């Protein structure tokens, strides 16, 4: 298609100062402009020296302009090992409106930010074994900026598809199109993953039939940790988890549990309202029904399930200190922004994109049919969850995959959990059915790789190698 056949390079020489007072020279900025699509281009800086300081490891950061006044932020890190043959992995955080810099800096990126705003290399970074790209979407999330029109999960898919059209047509990323492509995500990624991968597959079919021109995006594996898949099932799981979180016990008082039970089951309660949302379909007339259902279930199921506990880690109180938020201050430094090519002030979880989703009640809608269809297609898949997370707890995630309509449904229900061990230590309870795996990761909160970095890297490695989960 030649989206990016014209290449222009401009140099910006500027000096800035890091938090520790050392001077920093801005790297060369590059811009790849499409001659065929208006307002579509790739703008980036290469090898900024920020975060990934492993000698010889290439990185790029900047913007994919996916439309007029629509600048989508990305940060790419080459694999530390065999980048010329290593797979290519996309990471998306959830929200909606939460930045993928969360995954980069708090979970599995090349560095961790210390309290003094210096960085330390992460020995368990996923770019040890894969080329990694982190993208902030929809527009308005993280460092992304401009006009945001995305108000549902499905509406977000075409923009991410467009971003990869730009990337895979560029000289810098074209080589990755034929690599194994892993789609990895968490939390609202339980919506993003099934929707976006389904859209990519639909576009591939249109390209193959000659109905549209474009670059195929062939996803080889889908990984979703602590995902939000099916609200009808997962709102009930707040009650179940608060009653008895396996390994941790009863989280709330009998009085709170009784009130939650009433809120879910009584006429007009969460169950009835969620079912009404499902029955209302997907047209605009369903928006208020689903929005009201979501508001009710959050207030009367999710909130009381946590109360004075951190919603993402039941072992911490509501003012949780882990993972560290130091990286946010790090990214607010003008010197860092200049070095990486950031043009907007970083927002960890922006309100504006989330509000658009709230208005359509997207949070109350299910993506389970699409997840089941992907499992049925024998796509390599992992649904995994930290067992200390309340927010998208593993009981709800497991109940969701047990409810999926796919050829392995009965086998999964009859497959007992077994322990996955690393050097003899149990790190997860696992189930495998052909290309589908489920894992409950022990002693981990919502952001699994932050709490169990070694186990998370090993699980990632096994999925990347297209293996069933197993002990090592």
Active site residue 332: no
Could you give the CA distance from residue 95 to residue 81 in angstroms, rounded to a whole number? 31
Do residues 63 and 80 touch, judged by C-beta distance below 8 A? no
First to last CA, the chain: 45
What is the token pair recorded at 6?
């014209």
88-92/181-186 β-pairing:
parallel
Give the number of other Cβ atoms within 10 Å of residue 299's Cβ: 12
Q: What angle do CA 209, 215, 220 make, to 5 degrees?
A: 95
DSSP conformational letter for 289: H
Q: What angle do CA 62, 66, 72 make, to 5 degrees?
A: 35
Single out the residue of 77, 89, 83 nearest to residue 46, CA to CA.
77
Could you give the CA distance from residue 303 to residue 297 in angstroms, rounded to a whole number? 9
Could you give the CA distance from residue 212 to residue 141 in angstroms, rounded to a whole number? 29
For residue 33, what are the β-bridge partners? Answer: 6, 41
Choosing from 61, 71, 144, 187, the catalytic residue is 187
210: left (phi over 0), alpha (psi -120 to 50) or beta: left
Single out the residue of 465, 456, 363, 377 nearest to residue 197, CA to CA.
377
Choosing from 313, 389, 398, 437, the catalytic residue is 389
Active site residue 187: yes
Dihedral over alpha carbons 373, 465, 92, 393 (to 10 degrees):
70
Choosing from 108, 191, 398, 446, the catalytic residue is 446
For residue 24, what are the β-bridge partners? Answer: 16
User: Could you tell me the CA-to-CA distances from 181 to 99, 137, 417, 445, 456 in Å, in that order?
Assistant: 21, 19, 28, 26, 18
Contacts of 426 (CB under 8 A, 6+ apart): 419, 420, 442
Do residues 451 and 384 touch, judged by C-beta distance below 8 A? no
Active site residue 446: yes
Using the Cα atoms of residue 226, residue 228, residue 229 and residue 230 in order, give the sign of their dihedral: positive
Residues annotated as catalytic are 187, 389, 446
């Amino acid at each position: 298609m030649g989206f990016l056949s014209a290449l222009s390079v401009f140099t910006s020489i500027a000096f800035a100062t890091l938090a520790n007072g050392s001077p920093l020279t801005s790297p060369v900025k590059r811009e790849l402009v499409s001659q065929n699509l208006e307002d579509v281009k790739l703008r980036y800086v290469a090898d900024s020296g920020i975060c990934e300081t492993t000698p010889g490891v290439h990185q790029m950061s900047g913007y994919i302009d996916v439309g007029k006044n629509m600048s989508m932020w990305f940060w790419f890190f080459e694999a530390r090992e065999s980048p010329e043959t290593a797979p290519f992995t996309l990471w998306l955080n959830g929200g909606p409106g939460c930045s993928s810099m969360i995954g980069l800096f708090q979970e599995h990126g090349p560095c961790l930010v210390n309290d003094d705003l210096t960085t330390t290399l992460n020995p368990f970074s996923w770019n040890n074994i894969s080329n990694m790209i982190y993208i902030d979407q929809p527009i308005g999330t993280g460092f992304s900026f401009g006009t945001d029109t995305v108000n549902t999960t499905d509406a977000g898919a075409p923009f991410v598809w467009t971003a990869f059209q730009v990337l895979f047509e560029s000289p810098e990323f074209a080589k990755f199109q034929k690599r194994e492509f892993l789609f990895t995500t968490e939390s609202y990624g339980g919506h993003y993953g099934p929707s976006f991968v389904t859209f990519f597959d639909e576009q591939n079919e249109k390209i193959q039939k000659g109905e549209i021109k474009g670059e195929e995006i062939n996803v080889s594996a889908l990984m979703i940790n602590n995902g939000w898949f099916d609200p009808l099932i997962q709102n009930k799981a707040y009650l179940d988890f608060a009653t008895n979180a396996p390994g941790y016990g009863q989280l709330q008082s009998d009085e709170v549990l009784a009130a939650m039970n009433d809120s879910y089951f009584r006429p007009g309660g969460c169950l009835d309202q969620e079912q009404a949302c499902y029955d209302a379909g997907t047209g605009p007339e369903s928006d208020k029904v689903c929005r009201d259902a979501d508001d009710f279930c959050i207030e009367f199921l999710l909130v009381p399930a946590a109360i004075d506990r951190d919603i993402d880690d039941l072992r911490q109180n509501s003012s949780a200190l882990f993972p560290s938020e130091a990286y946010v201050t790090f990214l607010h430094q003008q010197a860092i922004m200049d070095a990486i090519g950031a043009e907007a002030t970083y927002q960890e979880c922006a309100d504006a994109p989330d509000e658009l989703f709230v208005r359509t009640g997207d949070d109350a809608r299910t993506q389970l049919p699409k997840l089941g269809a992907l499992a049925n297609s024998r796509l390599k898949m992992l649904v995994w969850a930290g067992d200390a997370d309340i927010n998208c707890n593993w009981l709800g995630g497991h109940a969701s995959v047990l409810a999926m309509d796919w050829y392995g449904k009965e086998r999964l229900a009859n497959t007992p959990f077994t322990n996955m061990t690393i050097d003899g230590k149990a790190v997860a309870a696992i189930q495998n059915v052909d290309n589908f795996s489920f894992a409950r990761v022990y002693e981990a909160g919502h952001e699994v790789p932050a709490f169990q970095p070694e186990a998370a890297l090993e699980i990632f490695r096994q999925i990347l190698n297209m293996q069933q989960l197993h002990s090592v």
